[in-house]
């Protein structure tokens, strides 16, 4: 007998951004696995087993969920945001490759979700409206000089940059070093967005500029967007500025439109 493993994106945390497909997979599961704070977003149901684990235990968590599904159960493994973006889907694929042949025959479903950069971008306008990249600042899984090379390549070629995993207790200096690196490529006035917990009660979104961007304003739950030379901030009376990157490289058209 073979079960099913659904790797589910919960979105940024607001229930209104949880897709019906994710909701249906959560409902159908006999057991839930996930990092504790993500699992806490799923309402408790007495007939559903819950297996919370720690942040850094992705491999072990994937293995436990795969074993449980391979034993015939319907298992859900939850991720914040989208499971394919710096999250559990890659860990599951990696364990399937390394694990017993029978795991390749499992019914595996990956359920996409709204990843943090899309939610943060939507809050401030459209900073990802032109070519962009997503880069994890964690150097747990890659050397720091590679992070620097990627920052250089992305900023130098005009990509807007979304920074995931900007900081943690064990990685206090990386975000400051990244801003320093980016200041070599980008003007001081380049818009920078700090977005934390979008859609949740403790949402905090700040629009600033590269010269004023303060690494201390970010924590583990913050997603940062650094604009390109084309990215613009539009002042609005009584509202937060709109930040967007025009679709055309030449910048905003100069014509004005009558109301």
Residues of span 67-106 touching a copy of itself by CB under 8 A: 67, 70, 82-87, 89-100, 102-105
Q: Is residue 65 close enough to count as binding a copy of itself by CB under 8 A? A: no
d(CA 208, CA 135): 20
Q: Which two tokens stand for residue 62?
A: 């994937």
Single out the residue of 179, 132, 192, 124 nearest to residue 158, CA to CA: 132
CA–CA dist 96, 77 (Å, integer): 14
Q: Which of 154, 175, 197, 217 binds a copy of itself (CB under 8 A)?
A: 154
The correct pick among 118, 186, 218, 223 for binding a copy of itself (CB under 8 A) is: 118
Residue number, 47 or 250, with CB nearest to a copy of itself: 250
Q: How far is the CB of 169 from a copy of itself (least distance, A)?
A: 19
47/254 with CB nearer a copy of itself: 254
Secondary structure, 3-state, 51-81: EEECCCCHHHHHHHHHHHHHCCCEEEEEECE
Q: Is 123 in the site for a copy of itself (CB under 8 A)?
A: yes
133 is an interface residue for a copy of itself by CB under 8 A? yes
**55 binding a copy of itself? (CB under 8 A):** no
- Residue 146 Cβ vs a copy of itself, minimum distance, rounded to whole Å: 6
Nearest 5°: the CA angle 169, 76, 87 is: 35
- CA 92 to each of CA 7, 15, 109, 115: distance values in angstroms, whole numbers, following the listed order: 8, 25, 11, 18
Q: Which is nearer to a copy of itself, 91 or 167 (CB)?
A: 91
Answer yes or no: are the C-beta atoms of 205 and 239 closer than 8 Å.
no
Identity of the residue, 40 or 107, whose beta carbon is nearer to a copy of itself in the bound complex: 107
Q: Which of residues 9 and 166 has its CB atom nearest to a copy of itself in the complex?
A: 9
Sheet of 49-53: strand order equals 49-53, 31-35, 74-79, 4-9, 107-111
Chain position carrying tokens 């859900």: 76
197 binds a copy of itself (CB under 8 A): no
Binds a copy of itself (CB under 8 A): choice among 4, 5, 10, 18 = 18
x/- track of binding to a copy of itself for residues 157-176 (CB under 8 A) = xxx-----------------
Is residue 234 part of the contact set for a copy of itself (CB under 8 A)? yes
**Cβ contact 225:162 at 8 Å:** yes
Q: Residue 85: how many CA atoms within 13 Å on its side-chain side?
A: 23
Residue choice 58, 197, 207, 227 for contact with a copy of itself (CB under 8 A):
58
CB of 111 to a copy of itself, least distance (A): 7
Exactly one of 31, 119, 178, 210 binds a copy of itself (CB under 8 A); that residue is 119
């Amino acid at each position: 007998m073979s079960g099913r493993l659904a790797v589910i994106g919960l979105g940024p945390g607001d229930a209104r951004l949880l897709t019906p497909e994710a909701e249906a997979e959560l409902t159908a599961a006999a057991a839930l696995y996930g990092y504790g704070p993500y699992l806490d977003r799923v309402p408790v149901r007495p007939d559903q087993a819950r297996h919370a684990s720690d942040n850094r235990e992705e491999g072990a968590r994937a293995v436990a969920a795969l074993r449980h599904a391979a034993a015939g159960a319907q298992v859900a493994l939850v991720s914040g945001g989208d499971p394919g973006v710096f999250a559990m889907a890659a860990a599951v694929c990696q364990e399937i490759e390394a694990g017993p042949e029978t795991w390749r025959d499992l019914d595996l479903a990956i359920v996409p979700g709204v990843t943090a950069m899309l939610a943060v971008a939507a809050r401030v306008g459209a900073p990802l409206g032109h070519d962009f990249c997503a880069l994890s600042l964690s150097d747990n899984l890659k050397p720091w000089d590679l992070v620097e090379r990627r920052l250089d390549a992305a900023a130098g070629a005009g990509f807007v940059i979304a920074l995931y995993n900007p900081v943690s207790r064990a990685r206090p200096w990386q975000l400051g070093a990244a801003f320093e690196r980016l200041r070599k490529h980008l003007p001081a006035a380049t818009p920078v967005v700090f977005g934390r917990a979008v859609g949740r009660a403790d949402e905090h979104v700040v629009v600033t500029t590269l010269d004023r961007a303060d690494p201390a304003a970010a924590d583990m739950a913050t997603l940062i967007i650094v604009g390109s030379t084309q990215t613009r901030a539009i002042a609005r009376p009584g509202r937060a500025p709109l930040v967007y990157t025009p679709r055309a490289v030449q910048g905003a058209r100069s014509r004005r439109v009558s109301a």
